[in-house]
């Protein structure tokens, strides 16, 4: 839980005055639709209660004073000196100020004191939460009117162009646009969205999130490699993006190597699974999501090759322990799994996965149950 009093206190200590407001943006889990966003495909995430919060106020000068409560660190930067390629935690906030100015929005200096309870590097969009909270805070401070999808896109510019991680729009769209008790269906080409009710509790279900504690990063090469491979395949197939592949077998027959064929198979089948999941959710039969989650995991493991042993073990043990379906969530190479489970079974299933980890010589995982929460906004 975010400690709002601690945020306020720290703001007061740093600046000598009360913040003008507190803004937040949540982390997310992706229910299904992994590595489809940058292929112009479909995704279905929902927002978490865990969030990044920012206590914010304007400054008289053109400086950004950025403070992280968790890291106990303070960074001061001049707006005019912001330049892509900056490293460290403060780049996620500074990048948003930079992106806003690049897009022509008028902002001045700001004190931004942040805190987050989204686990870092766990595949739950800790960076998008910080970026989207910063967008909300700077909009609030400087009275900017920016439609929600454009806010998400600005946060994505911060991540891609400033921080240097070649990600798609999934995380920032989820953090900005999600609504409580619903998943967000997003067509990443048309940017059409649809709120999809997910009455998990009513159906005696919950989603367990288990952090394998195997950290990952999107600035590293593997994410970019997957993306490049998809773009190369689309070029060979003569389509704008893998979203446009309509006959999978015919497409696979045209591709030169087995690795590329596997990558394409993942993206094309994953898009189909998101569309099926949307239908299942629209029909209100949430248990029927389970086989889609399982198939998504197998596709990420065998075709996209983005899972790691801890993640595969967690998914397999979740199923053995009674999960209806389970999959890795997020960019991959570590991070979290999600499991669709009967309500109230989270602790037992988490304990059993922890026991399997101990037996395999892995460190202890952490877990918590989640329900779909609201997207970015003002806290106070």
The least CB distance from residue 42 to ligand GAF, in Å, is 11
User: Going residue by residue from 71 to 110, which x/- string records binding to ligand GAF, judged by CB under 6 A?
Assistant: ----------------------------------------
Q: For the sheet containing 336-342, what is the strand order?
A: 325-328, 336-342, 205-211, 366-370
- For 103, the token pair is 């897009």
Three state DSSP letters for 245-262: CCCHHHHHHHCCCHHHHH
Instruction: State which of positions 25-54 bind ligand GAF (CB under 6 A).
Output: 30, 34-35, 37-38
Q: Which stretch binds ligand GAF (CB under 6 A): 162-170, 187-195, 307-315, 344-352?
A: 162-170
Strands (E), the chain: 21-32, 42-58, 63-68, 73-78, 110-116, 182-187, 193-197, 205-211, 325-328, 336-342, 366-370, 377-378
Q: Are 253 and 265 in contact (CB under 8 A)?
A: no
Helical axes 148-157 vs 91-102, angle rounded to 10°: 120
- How many residues bind ligand GAF (CB under 6 A)? The answer is 12
Question: Could you tell me the smallest distance in angstroms from the CB atom of residue 316 to ligand GAF?
Answer: 21
Shortest distance, CB of residue 210 to ligand GAF, whole angstroms? 17
Complex with ligand GAF: residue 34 or 206, whichever CB lies closer: 34
CB of 264 to ligand GAF, least distance (A): 16
Judge whether 171 counts as a catalytic residue. Answer: yes
Q: Residue positions in the annotated binding site for substrate? A: 34-37, 223
Q: Which residues are annotated as a binding site for Mg(2+)?
A: 127, 159
In the three-class reduction of DSSP (H, G, I as helix; E, B as strand; rest coil), residue 62 is classed as: coil
Q: Which is nearer to ligand GAF, 51 or 218 (CB)?
A: 218
Q: Least distance from C-beta 35 to ligand GAF, angstroms?
A: 5
Helix (H) or strand (E) holding 119: none
Q: Which is nearer to ligand GAF, 30 or 116 (CB)?
A: 30
> Closer CB to ligand GAF, residue 11 or residue 333?
333
How far is the C-alpha of 297 from the C-alpha of 336, rounded, in Å?
Answer: 12
Residues 6+ apart with CB under 8 A from 258: none
Looking at 61, 63, 143, 171, which residue is catalytic? 171
Q: How far apart are CA 161 and CA 170, in angstroms?
A: 16
Q: In this complex, which beta carbon is closest to ligand GAF, that of residue 270 or of residue 345? A: 270
Residue 218 contacts ligand GAF per CB under 6 A: yes
Cβ-based nearer residue to ligand GAF, 109 or 331: 331
| Angle ∠(276,118,110) on CA atoms, nearest 5 | 115
Instruction: State the binding site for ATP.
Output: 68, 121-127
Q: Minimum distance from CB of 226 to ligand GAF (Å)?
A: 9
Segment 163 to 202, residues that bind ligand GAF, using CB under 6 A: 167-168, 170-171
Question: What residues contact residue 337 under an 8 Å CB cut-off, 6+ apart?
Answer: 209, 210, 212, 297, 311, 314, 315, 318, 326, 327, 328, 329
CA angle 163, 176, 343 (to 5 degrees): 110
Q: Which residues are annotated as a binding site?
A: 34-37, 68, 121-127, 159, 223
Instruction: Looking at residues 307 to 346 of the shown chain, list those that interact with ligand GAF (rule: CB under 6 A).
Output: 330-331
- Supply 241's token pair: 């993006």
Residue 211 interacting with ligand GAF (CB under 6 A) = no
The residues carrying an active-site annotation are: 171
Interface positions with ligand GAF (CB under 6 A)? 30, 34-35, 37-38, 167-168, 170-171, 218, 330-331
């Amino acid at each position: 839980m975010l400690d709002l009093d601690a945020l306020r206190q720290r703001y007061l200590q740093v600046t000598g005055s009360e913040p003008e407001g507190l803004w937040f943006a949540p982390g997310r889990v992706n229910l299904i639709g992994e590595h489809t966003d940058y292929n112009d495909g479909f995704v279905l995430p929902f927002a978490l209660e865990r969030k990044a919060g920012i206590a914010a106020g304007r400054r008289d000068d053109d400086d950004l004073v950025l403070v992280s409560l968790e890291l106990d660190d303070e960074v001061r930067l001049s707006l005019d000196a912001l330049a892509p390629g900056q490293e460290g935690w403060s780049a996620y906030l500074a990048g948003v100020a930079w992106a806003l100015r690049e897009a022509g929005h008028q902002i001045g200096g700001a004190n931004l004191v942040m805190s987050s309870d989204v686990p870092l590097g766990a595949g739950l969009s800790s960076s998008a939460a910080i970026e989207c909270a910063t967008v909300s805070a700077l909009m609030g401070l400087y009275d900017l009117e920016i439609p929600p999808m454009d806010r998400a896109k600005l946060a994505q510019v911060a991540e891609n162009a400033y921080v240097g991680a070649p990600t798609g729009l999934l995380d920032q769209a989820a953090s900005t646009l999600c609504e409580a008790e619903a998943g967000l269906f997003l067509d990443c080409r048309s940017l059409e969205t649809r709120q999809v009710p997910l009455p998990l509790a009513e159906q005696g279900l919950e989603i367990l999130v288990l952090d394998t504690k195997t950290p990952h990063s999107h600035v590293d090469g593997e994410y970019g490699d997957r993306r490049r491979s998809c773009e190369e395949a689309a070029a060979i197939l003569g389509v704008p993006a893998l979203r446009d592949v309509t006959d999978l077998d015919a497409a696979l027959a045209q591709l030169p190597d087995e690795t590329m064929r596997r990558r394409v198979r993942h993206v094309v089948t994953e898009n189909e699974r998101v569309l099926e999941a949307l239908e299942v959710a629209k029909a209100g039969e949430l248990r029927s999501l389970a086989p889609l989650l399982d198939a998504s995991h197998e596709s990420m493991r065998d075709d996209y090759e983005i899972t790691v042993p801890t993640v595969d073990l967690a998914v397999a043990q979740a199923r053995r322990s009674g999960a209806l379906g389970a999959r890795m969530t997020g960019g991959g190479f570590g991070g979290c799994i999600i499991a669709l489970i009967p309500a109230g079974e989270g602790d037992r299933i988490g304990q059993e996965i922890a026991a399997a980890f101990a037996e395999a010589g892995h460190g202890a995982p952490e877990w918590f149950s989640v329900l779909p929460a609201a997207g970015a906004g003002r806290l106070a």
